[in-house]
Amino acid sequence: MSVVKEIPFFSLLTEEELNLIDEIAAEKEFKKGEYIFFEGESGDKFFIIKDGQVKLTKMIKNGDEQILNIFSNNDIIAEIVAFDKGNYPASAVTMTDTEVIVFDQSELENLILKHPTIGVKLLREMSGRLRRAQQNVRDLALKDSSARVAGLLIFLAEKYGKKKKNKVVLDISLTQQELASMIGSSRETVSRILGKFENEGLIKTSRKKINIYQPDKIKSYT
């Protein structure tokens, strides 16, 4: 069975092309808290998460860490180095024990030189991802703090939430400071808005777990 068949990044490829991608794929395991790569390091590989959770982080001017995104099963990390030999623009650190599929940039480049249609299809997929990312940035800039927190909760719930009876359990190892860094806000602001949502009966927080009771009402804030 193809290692990459169910991965969205390769969804445009034919069965034969998927088999060629499989031939250059390797697998590697990381323990929780390990770095897959560091910001500024030479970008010679990109990764797809087979199982686990990874956060992409960047150091900002005051020395704090900003979380740019969180990735889980079938997500691709650092796909830009598939076509760009530059440095990694951010760091990737595991949030759980994680297994990844590793691709060497030079091997993919050689494969594309022999089979140019693979490169065209991957570029098409990357352009779609870039367009969606730009839309998200635009939306974020236009929203107030409550809308940004609500949008983040819905995003995390849809990606990591587990439905249990009358609630969605968001069991993910993120502090309020880390949640704040994901939406460009302060910990105090996020804490205040989470408290507001809790007072309204929309959520209930405990340590690093959030129970979401009324996702539709939270969506109305966005």
Query: Average pLDDT of 110-128?
Result: 90
Residue 147: C-alpha distances to residues 60, 100, 127, 150, 204 (Å): 24, 33, 27, 5, 18
Tell me what percent of the chain is helix, strand and coil, each rounded to the nearest 5: 45, 25, 30
Cβ-Cβ contacts under 8 Å for 144 (sequence gap 6 or more): none
Cβ-Cβ contacts under 8 Å for 171 (sequence gap 6 or more): 160, 162, 208, 209
120 & 170 share domain: no
Reported as a single tens digit per residue, the pLDDT across 132-172 is 777 766 766 668 889 889 988 988 888 888 888 888 888 77
Examine residue 188 and state whether it is found in any structural domain, yes or no.
Answer: yes
Examine residue 21 and state whether it is found in any structural domain, yes or no.
Answer: yes
Reported as a single tens digit per residue, the pLDDT across 39-65 is 999 889 999 999 999 999 988 777 777
68 & 118 share domain: yes
The CATH number given to whatever domain includes residue 29 is 2.60.120.10
Nearest to 83 by CA among 130, 38, 50, 39: 130
* Domain count for the chain: 2
Examine residue 3 and state whether it is found in any structural domain, yes or no.
Answer: no
Cβ neighbours, 10 Å, residue 155: 17
E strands, the chain, in order = 25-30, 35-37, 45-51, 54-59, 65-71, 76-77, 91-94, 98-104, 162-164, 167-171, 203-206, 209-212
72 & 152 share domain: no
Distance in angstroms (rounded) separating the CA atoms of residues 222 and 214:
14
| Domain range for 165 | 144-220
C-alpha neighbours within 13 Å on the C-beta side of residue 172:
26
pLDDT interval class at 9 (50, 70, 90)? confident
**What is the per-residue pLDDT for 198?**
92
Examine residue 88 and state whether it is found in any structural domain, yes or no.
Answer: yes
**What is the per-residue pLDDT for 141?**
67
94 & 198 share domain: no
The 3-state DSSP class for residue 85 equals coil
Examine residue 1 and state whether it is found in any structural domain, yes or no.
Answer: no
134 & 154 share domain: no
pLDDT interval class at 31 (50, 70, 90)? very high
Integer distance in angstroms from the first to the last C-alpha of the chain?
Answer: 41
The CATH number given to whatever domain includes residue 171 is 1.10.10.10
CB distance 59 to 48 below 8 Å = no
**What is the per-residue pLDDT for 137?**
67
- Of 95, 122, 140, the one marking the end of a domain is 140
